[in-house]
Structure formats: structure tokens, C-alpha cells
């Protein structure tokens, strides 16, 4: 069996481009990916791969076995789009107003399909490969739904891997790290119950805006003064909603926001401090403040063995490999999978030139189609190295 390189999958490039553009024209939001899932299932069947549909709602699992090996490697791609109106001008832009593949999940799905076709045709491994196409990554619900639907007990993976493209990083670059690679995301909400009144007589009521403004400022002290600077935690107030009017002081206000952290300990401490701050301000102003705190994404943590294996496979595809990159502040629900199964989440360069360097979730973001063969070759090489044939 010849060594797997990027050029090994070059013959599949046009097929992958066509498939990716079709997905891009027809984006579907989380748990609505019925057309996408059907296209993926049909493609896998055409490759001769066993298909399981409807796992976790719209999730698809393909199973490819070869030889007598008893180990199982799971490869994951996300497939949902975002509620964004695309502003690109290419001829395969989204046909659905208000929906767009602005994060590259169409590319992630296509890379894994390309690898599936190559592996089915060449079988450079012994054991079992699980191709996992996951719904609803953007809201952190898809991996959880598939796990609750028996993903682990049914398919019994020994390890799991996932890739995300990274705009601004050079094409062909692969990077990861052992330990935490992506932050958790927790949403918080403070509801303030004061006493509304006339704007000319503020002493009569309790102005909820004043209380809320004090709360906004106090929350910034959590990161600035209560946590070590090295934690990288973020606390952001993103909404401030009141029932005030032109000459009416509000008696009710709601503050909403988002916090990120890289350890469960920091996440727990942030919640504790938020509740402590709210309680103190409520007492000072003689008001009631209700606090709601919900973690949507847990931290994504890579195990050492799988991180090293991913970088070893990447080094055979590209000379641009970063084995100890800094963790990313965005969140990924791959963390649900790697919390249950030893795994590694890695990043792949999307390019440095416009539009491939546009931020994720930008309305003119564009997945770099030249990255398709890099990603597919990485998957194929990883499988061949993690499930080696006995004569190797």
C-alpha cells in the first residue's frame, strides 16, 4: 500500500468540490439537516459503507470494517449551518435567505466523505472506522443528543477525532495541543426587580438601570481582580433590557451575557462570584436579583496519546504542524465526545488571503476548497496509522 499523502486524494478533489457547493447552496440549521443527512447517507451507501440514520435526531453514522482488527476509530464532522444571510457573490451562494454555511461545516462534512470514499476503495487499515456526521454543533446540542441516543454503547469507539478549519492560518497547517483546546461557554442572566417611577423623582423608586449598571461594572472585576490573569477567562455582558420609557424610570431590567473559561474550576468560580456580586448589590439597593447560569458547552480537552497521534499523521500530510498551540477561546461541542471517549480536536488552516481569512460566522466567510484534499488525506492517513495492517 503506497504512503497516503495529500496527492493521494487529489483525484477526489472535483467530486468533493461539487458536493461541498451543493451543501453550501442548501444550508440547514441544527436538527433540521434532513436534506444534508440524506445526501450524506446516499453518498456513504454508494461507497459501500454501512449507514445508520436518525441518531440524535438527524445524525448519520457510517461504519467501515476491514480485516480482523478489534480497534475502532471514530472520525467526526459537523454539518449544521447558521442563521446568517450570506453576502458573498459566488454562483453557489446560499439559496435560502437567512441561512448560511458561515463556519465551514459544509467543508468539514465533505472532507470526511472524501476520506470515506478513499478508505472504502483502498482499505489501508485493519479494524473499524466510524464516520460520524453530527447535527447541531452551533448550539452545543448535537453531540449530546447522539450520545444520549446510544452512540458509545452501539458503536464502541476506542478514540475520537475532530477537525475545524481556522481562517487566517496558512493552508495546510495543522495544530492542536494536549489538554484544553477550546473554552467552555456558559450563558448568564440577571433579572432585576426594582421600583419604576417618574424620571423627575428618582428618589421615590429604585431605578433598575442604575442597579444594572453597577452590576455590569462589578462583573468585570471577576476577570480583572478575582481570577489569575493566566486563566484566559472572559465575562461579557451582551444585552441590557429594561421597561423604561422617555420619562419613566424602569423598575425591571434583564442583563444577559456570555462567559468563557478553560477549566471547570474557573467556570464554577465564575458562577459563584456572579451570585455573590448579585446578592451584595441586591442588598445594597434593597431589590431582588435573580441569577440564572447555564453551561452550553463544556471545555474541549484532548488526551495526550490522541493529540500526538493526530500530529504524527498531520506531519505526513504537511510540513506545517504545530503540536502545542495556544487554546482557542471559542467553544466546541466535540468536548461532549472527548469527555466520554479519548480524543483529539485539531485545527486546520483555511488560508491567509481574502475571503479565506474572513472570521468564522462572517457573512462573507468562505471555506477554502483547496483545503479539502488536505483534510481528507489527514483522515485517511490517521486511520492507516491508528489501525495499521499486520504486514506493516
- What are the tens digits of pLDDT across the range 279-305? 999 999 999 999 999 999 999 999 999
Instruction: Note the pLDDT tens digit of each residue in 199-249.
Output: 888 888 889 999 999 999 999 999 999 999 899 999 999 999 999 998 988
Show the DSSP H helices in the chain as ranges.
13-25, 34-46, 105-122, 142-148, 151-155, 208-221, 264-285, 304-315, 334-340, 371-386
| Cis ω for the linkage preceding 355 (within 30 of 0) | yes
| Pairing assessment for the beta strands 174-175 and 343-349 based on DSSP bridges | antiparallel
Three-state DSSP at 9 gives helix
Choose among 304, 310, 335, 330: nearest CA to 322: 310
Q: How is domain 6-182+299-386 classified at the CATH fold level?
A: Aminopeptidase (3.40.630)
Is residue 163 within 8 Å of 350, Cβ to Cβ? no
Q: What is the pLDDT of residue 198?
A: 80
Kindly tell me if the per-residue pLDDT of 331 is higher than 50.
yes
CA–CA dist 100, 346 (Å, integer):
23
* Burial (CB count <10 Å: 0-12, 13-18, 19+), residue 25: middle
CB of 359 closer than 8 Å to CB of 328: no
Half-sphere exposure of 111 (CA within 13 A, CB side): 32
- Alpha-carbon span 373 to 14, nearest angstrom: 10
Backbone angles phi, psi at 362, to 5 degrees: -75, 150
| Domain ranges for the chain | 6-182+299-386, 184-297
Q: What is the pLDDT of residues 24-62, one digit of tens each?
A: 999 999 999 999 999 999 999 999 999 999 999 999 999
Q: Which helix (H) or strand (E) holds 162?
A: strand 159-166
Which CATH fold would you assign to the domain 184-297? Answer: Alpha-Beta Plaits (3.30.70)
- For residue 199, the model assigns a pLDDT of 85
Output the nine-digit C-alpha cell for 306: 490522541
pTM of the model: 0.93
pLDDT at 135 over 80: yes
Angle (CA) 23-64-71 rounded to 5° is: 125
Per-residue pLDDT for 64 more than 90? yes
Do residues 291 and 142 lie in contact, with contact meaning Cβ atoms separated by under 8 Å? no
What pLDDT shows up at residue 392?
44
Confidence of residue 108 (pLDDT cuts 50, 70, 90): very high
The position carrying cell 472504502 is: 120
Amino acid at each position: 500500500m503506497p504512503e497516503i499523502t495529500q496527492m493521494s486524494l487529489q483525484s477526489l478533489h472535483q467530486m468533493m468540490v461539487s458536493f461541498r457547493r451543493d451543501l453550501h447552496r442548501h444550508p440547514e440549521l441544527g436538527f433540521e439537516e434532513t436534506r444534508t443527512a440524506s445526501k450524506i447517507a446516499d453518498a456513504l451507501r454508494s461507497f459501500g459503507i454501512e449507514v445508520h440514520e436518525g441518531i440524535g435526531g438527524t445524525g448519520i453514522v457510517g461504519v467501515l470494517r476491514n480485516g480482523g482488527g478489534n480497534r475502532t476509530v471514530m472520525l467526526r464532522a459537523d454539518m449544521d449551518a447558521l442563521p446568517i444571510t450570506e453576502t458573498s457573490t459566488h454562483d453557489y451562494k446560499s439559496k435560502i435567505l437567512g441561512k448560511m454555511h458561515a463556519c465551514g461545516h459544509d467543508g468539514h462534512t465533505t472532507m470526511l466523505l472524501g476520506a470515506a470514499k478513499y478508505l472504502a476503495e483502498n482499505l489501508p487499515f485493519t479494524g473499524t472506522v466510524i464516520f460520524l456526521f453530527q447535527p447541531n454543533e452551533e448550539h452545543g446540542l448535537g453531540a449530546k443528543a447522539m450520545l444520549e441516543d446510544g452512540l458509545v454503547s452501539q458503536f464502541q469507539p476506542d478514540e475520537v477525532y475532530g477537525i475545524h478549519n481556522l481562517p487566517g492560518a496558512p493552508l495546510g497547517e495543522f495544530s492542536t495541543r494536549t489538554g484544553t483546546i477550546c473554552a467552555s461557554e456558559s450563558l448568564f442572566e440577571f433579572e432585576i426587580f426594582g421600583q419604576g417611577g417618574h424620571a423627575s423623582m428618582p428618589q421615590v423608586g429604585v431605578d433598575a438601570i442604575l442597579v444594572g449598571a453597577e452590576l455590569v461594572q462589578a462583573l468585570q472585576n471577576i476577570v480583572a481582580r478575582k481570577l489569575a490573569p493566566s486563566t484566559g477567562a472572559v465575562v461579557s455582558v451582551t444585552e441590557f433590557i429594561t421597561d423604561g420609557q422617555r420619562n419613566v424610570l424602569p423598575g425591571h431590567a434583564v442583563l444577559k451575557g456570555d462567559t468563557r473559561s478553560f477549566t471547570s474550576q474557573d467556570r464554577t468560580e465564575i458562577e459563584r462570584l456572579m451570585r455573590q456580586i448579585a446578592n451584595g448589590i441586591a442588598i445594597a439597593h434593597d431589590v431582588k436579583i435573580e441569577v440564572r447560569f447555564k453551561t452550553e458547552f463544556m471545555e474541549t480537552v484532548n488526551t495526550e496519546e490522541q493529540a500526538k497521534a493526530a500530529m504524527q499523521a498531520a506531519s505526513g500530510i504537511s510540513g506545517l504542524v504545530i503540536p502545542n498551540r495556544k487554546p482557542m477561546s471559542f467553544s466546541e461541542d466535540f468536548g461532549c465526545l472527548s469527555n466520554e471517549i479519548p480524543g483529539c480536536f485539531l485545527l486546520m488552516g483555511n488560508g491567509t488571503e481574502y475571503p479565506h481569512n474572513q472570521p468564522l460566522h462572517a457573512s462573507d466567510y468562505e471555506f477554502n476548497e483547496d483545503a479539502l484534499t488536505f483534510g481528507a488525506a489527514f483522515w485517511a492517513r490517521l486511520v492507516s496509522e491508528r489501525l495499521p495492517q499486520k504486514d506493516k
